[in-house]
Amino acid sequence: MSMFKTLEELVDIIRQRKNSTKDKSYTNQLLNNKNLCKEKVEEEIQELLEAISQNKNQVHESADVIYHLLVLLESNNIKIEDVMNELKQRQKKSGLEEKASR
């Protein structure tokens, strides 16, 4: 399974849980409490920075940051597709796209 497929599946699950009123999952709790969601992103970023400083547990903490960031985006109606399009536009403006294809 490609890494992008894994991200797509995670986004799909987050969106399903967002649209489910019966769902009592952790993801749904975060989606319905913007303050908690924001606090968790801040907490997870701090944990990642500590993991990097201590040179341990970086992959686990990185996964936590990505998950919580995706939930934060979705809870604020920011589509990851729009973020990716923004990155693509920046890539074109900086000329990185041309250099990367060489």
Q: Where are the domains of the chain?
A: 3-100
Q: What is the pLDDT of residue 3?
A: 78
Q: Contact at 8 Å (CB) between 49 and 42?
A: no
Per-residue pLDDT tens over the stretch 61-88: 999 999 999 999 999 999 999 999 999 9
Question: Tokens for 57?
Answer: 């547990």
Give the pTM.
0.86
Q: What is the CATH number of domain 3-100?
A: 1.10.287.1080
Residue 37 DSSP label: H
Q: What is the pLDDT of residue 36?
A: 97
The residue with greater pLDDT, 54 or 19, is 54
| pLDDT at position 101 over 80 | no
* Closest listed residue to residue 67, CA positions, set 31, 33, 35: 31
Q: What is the pLDDT of residue 5?
A: 93
Q: Contact at 8 Å (CB) between 47 and 39?
A: no
| Block residue for tokens 């968790």 | 40
The three-point CA angle 99-8-44 to 5° equals: 90
Q: Across residues 17-46, what is the average pLDDT?
A: 93
- Dihedral angle over CA of 87, 66, 48, 96, nearest 10: -20
